[in-house]
Amino acid sequence: MIKINSLSKVFKKQEVIKNLTIDFNAGEKIALIGQNGAGKTTLIRCILGQYNYEGYLEIMGLNPRKERRNILQNVGFVPQTPPPLKMTVDELLNFFVNLTNTPKEEFINLTHSLGLIIEENINKPFFKLSGGMKQKLLIALALGRQPKILLLDEPSANLDPQAREILFDHLQNFRKDSLMILSSHRMNEIKTLVNRVVEMDLGIVAVDKTVITETKN
């Protein structure tokens, strides 16, 4: 579903991703791990078409820089840092309804499951929500449309313990034919979810191994 060949990304003469070649496939649940500065978030943002880059990158047969809107219809994304959006919660919900043809209730029901009654904040600008509220809404917007590709960059950040547990239950039961990439510093938190581990270090893949998904006790 994602094909990458000789991908490089440079910021201010520093090569953050170095000649990276790797494929990510349907049905894979991947832990993308590594220290800060390893290139994990940069790789995700290249996949989303947010950065220019050198090399070859294809998402479901499409170029993420040239066909970003088509790609985003099939990609759910939870960023590490919520964007400072000025649109209201209702406007944001309606944007994703129109982008993905998903009923609004799907998103709202997911916020409820995470402990957020979004109707109480429906007319509030997104950037004025608390960190936890932002995270719960972004998770609902990513998961609610059942995308073919799910990219999660530190998805449990800002979540209370109960919401974190509910999130991972949702991920455990997410569509089995999807490609899921979870970037996290907490490998022990996601080890029951994943069947492949990709560790990045200084812009390269240091480890790439298939693992047996552990079952929860």
User: pLDDT tens digit string along 4-34?
Assistant: 999 999 998 899 999 999 999 999 999 999 9
What are the tens digits of pLDDT across the range 156-175? 888 999 999 999 999 999 99
Q: Is the pLDDT of residue 216 over 60?
A: no
As a 3-state breakdown, the chain gives helix, strand, coil percent values, each rounded to 5, of 35, 30, 40
What are the tens digits of pLDDT across the range 90-138? 999 999 999 888 999 999 999 999 999 999 999 999 999 999 999 999 9
pTM for the predicted model, two decimal places = 0.91
Judged on CB neighbours under 10 Å (0-12, 13-18, 19+), 62 is middle
For residue 185, give the DSSP letter: S
Q: Where are the domains of the chain?
A: 2-82+147-210
How many Å separate Cα 172 from the centre of its chain?
15
Nearest to 82 by CA among 48, 131, 121: 131
Quote the pLDDT of residue 186: 75
Q: Largest Cα–Cα distance in the chain?
A: 48
Quote the pLDDT of residue 1: 95
Quote the pLDDT of residue 20: 96
Quote the pLDDT of residue 213: 64
Specify the CATH superfamily of domain 2-82+147-210: P-loop containing nucleotide triphosphate hydrolases (3.40.50.300)
Average pLDDT in the chain: 92
CA-CA-CA-CA torsion for 6, 12, 14, 16, nearest 10 degrees? -50
Q: Please name the residue that has the structure tokens 């990510």.
A: 24
Q: Is the pLDDT of residue 142 over 60?
A: yes
Q: Please name the residue that has the structure tokens 């590709």.
A: 149
Which token pair is 133?
Answer: 């509220």
